[in-house]
Amino acid sequence: MTSWPEFAPLALDPPAEAPPARFALWPLPELPGAAPRAAAPEGPPPPTQEELALADAYAAGRADGEAEATARAAREVGAALEALAGAAQALEAVRAAFVSEVEEQVAALAVAVGAQLLQREVAADPTVVRDLVRQAVALLPVEGMLEIRLHPDDLAALAGQLELQAAGGRALEAHWVPDATLERGSYRIETAQRVVDGRVEPVLQALYERLRHG
């Protein structure tokens, strides 16, 4: 039997990787009639010193204008507020004058009504005057003759009712005098010591002042 010689195994290297394919790009040829390619836009040029100075001047002028406008608006608002305050004061003065006039008219009307009521009361009942005189005499320290003045109509209406007495019941001597200067309902008492003025007019005047001034 024939024997063959032994051979060592061969070491086989792995196949090397193929290099990547590279392709060269050629510029496309310009076609006839094609529009030329537009150049890439360039950025705006930097501002010049004159432009920067003009921008600064514009900004400063605008700031000054706004400040002046604000100040002018403030002055106008202040003037408007001052005018409004003056108008309010004038209105208050008018209101006060109106209220004062109305109060005066109301007081005068009340006094006039009071006078009319008194005149009517005295005409209806002359003893009203007699009672007023008696009350006044009762408060006087009477010594001697009394002089009592009444309106002539009141004195005529009280004929026969003219007796007067002191606080202790003592009869008093009185001289009754008609006085046309007195209003109806008024009286005037004179003694050696004092004078009692019972005229209606001062009473009504005091009432008028009280109504006016509270």
**Model confidence over 75-104: pLDDT tens digits?**
888 887 787 777 777 767 766 665 556 555
Are 172 and 204 contained in the same domain?
yes
Q: What percent of the chain has pLDDT over 70?
A: 56
pTM, two decimals, is 0.44
Q: In total, how many domains does the chain have?
A: 2
pLDDT band at 152; cut points 50, 70, 90: very high
Are 62 and 114 contained in the same domain?
yes
How far apart are alpha carbons 114 and 107 in whole angstroms?
10
Is residue 34 included in any domain, yes or no? no
Are 94 and 129 contained in the same domain?
no
Backbone phi, psi, residue 101, to 5°: -65, -40
Is residue 192 included in any domain, yes or no? yes
Question: Average pLDDT, whole number, for the chain?
Answer: 72
Are 137 and 94 contained in the same domain?
no
Are 83 and 141 contained in the same domain?
no
Which of 105, 124, 143 is at the close of a domain? 124
In the chain, the N- to C-terminal Cα span, in Å, equals 165
Are 144 and 92 contained in the same domain?
no
CATH number at residue 159: 3.30.2320
Give the residue numbers spanning the domain of 111.
51-124
Are 206 and 140 contained in the same domain?
yes
How far apart are alpha carbons 197 and 175 in whole angstroms?
16
How far apart are alpha carbons 209 and 107 in whole angstroms?
8
Are 141 and 86 contained in the same domain?
no
Is residue 31 included in any domain, yes or no? no
Which of 93, 124, 155 is at the close of a domain? 124
The reported pLDDT for the residue numbered 178 is 93
Is residue 84 included in any domain, yes or no? yes
Task: Write the DSSP string, the chain.
Answer: ---PPP-PPPPPPPPPPPPPP--PPPPPPPPTTPPPPPPPPPPPPPPPHHHHHHHHHHHHHHHHHHHHHHHHHHHHHHHHHHHHHHHHHHHHHHHHHHHHHHHHHHHHHHHHHHHHHHHHHHHH-THHHHHHHHHHHHTS---S-EEEEE-HHHHHHTTT---EE-TTS-EE-EEEEE-TTSPTT-EEEE-SS-EEE--HHHHHHHHHHHHHH-
Are 88 and 135 contained in the same domain?
no
Are 150 and 80 contained in the same domain?
no
Q: With b meaning 16 or more CB within 10 Å and e meaning fewer, what string describes 33-56?
A: eeeeeeeeeeeeeeeeeeeeeeee
pLDDT band at 162; cut points 50, 70, 90: confident
Is residue 17 included in any domain, yes or no? no
Are 130 and 197 contained in the same domain?
yes
Are 63 and 109 contained in the same domain?
yes
